[in-house]
Structure 1
């Protein structure tokens, strides 16, 4: 007859030992959390597992950085043709400036006999060819390059106008630049911060 084996009761831990075991478990959990949050690779060792040294690699993915959107380049004329093509030294409006503006023209219009450059031409460069009876500029922040104009009306804001010959100039908008190459016209400027004068 076989006598059943009796297992010895597990030793009871005293309060001090339980605190030590609890503190060790807490420290292990804290270290594990730090490793997981740092994006490192953690290797757990199981002494009872078979394999190379009883190791079982566990990969913890690294947090991916948030990608910032790449800004889209803005075409130079959409920011305002005057901002792009006119600088402190460019306000003279001489022959070199006229040539540069003509080369940068976004549209060419024929003036016969009158022409209005409307608000749809804001922040563009417009080349006006031919002789004009009356040329009206309502567009803002653009450049208008014209030839011969009898009467020039500038109603927009921040526009730059270059004409070869002009008889009369009326400016009601603000912060415009009007330059001419021929003889001095009659100028009526009722706006603010406008610059009018011969191209230099």
Structure 2
């Protein structure tokens, strides 16, 4: 009985030693300037490849703009998000006459609208110009070029516009209403 326990303990020790001495792997961003040393299958460190120094080029400016210019009146992050929503739109329509109530949908409204009433949960609406926007859903994102006035009574919604700041009435909670 004692011999089988010591054999099992020895086998467990060998398994742990093999597992702990295995290969290591690191994922390195090739764009990183100094990736540091890497560890190969033998466990020996090999120096990381150092990128070749850049040669000056009159046509290339290495300075990066920390705050890129707005795209279509939106900052870069929101312009990209708006474009992803446009690419994923489930419905494209002219100005609606009834409230939008299709939860979880991405709706593209084309044209200048007098009034849009949105009662969506977890949806998105991209509209050109609207005189009056009313939002009473939760977790909905709206992108507009210009808005005359906006009334929000929902929760955790986001409304972004590119034109002048509209007249805003927010009786909801945790809403984000801002230009670009």
TM-score (normalizing by structure 2): 0.56
Asked if 1:100 corresponds to 2:81, the answer is no
Q: Say which of 148, 153, 162 aligns to 1:167.
A: 148
**Count of residues in Structure 1 that have an aligned counterpart in Structure 2:** 106
Q: Say which of 80, 100, 103 aligns to 1:117.
A: 100
Q: CA deviation at 1:115?
A: 4.7
Higher Cα Rg: structure 1 or 2?
A: 1
Q: Is the 8 A contact 1:128 1:145 kept in 2?
A: yes
Q: Any gaps of 5 or more consecutive residues in structure 1?
A: 1-90
Q: CA deviation at 1:100?
A: 1.4
Counterpart of 2:169 in structure 1 is: 188
TM-score (normalizing by structure 1): 0.50
Q: Any gaps of 5 or more consecutive residues in structure 2?
A: 1-74
Moved over 4 A (4+): none
Q: Is the 8 A contact 1:115 1:134 kept in 2?
A: no
Q: What is the rounded CA distance, in whole Å, between the counterparts of 2:78 and 2:98 in structure 1?
A: 24
Is the partner of 2:145 in helix, strand or coil?
strand
Counterpart of 1:144 in structure 2 is: 125
Q: What is the rounded CA distance, in whole Å, between the counterparts of 1:175 and 1:168 in structure 2?
A: 19
Q: What is the rounded CA distance, in whole Å, between the counterparts of 1:180 and 1:115 in structure 2?
A: 22
Asked if 1:176 corresponds to 2:134, the answer is no
Q: What is the rounded CA distance, in whole Å, between the counterparts of 1:185 and 1:153 in structure 2?
A: 12
Is the partner of 2:121 in helix, strand or coil?
coil
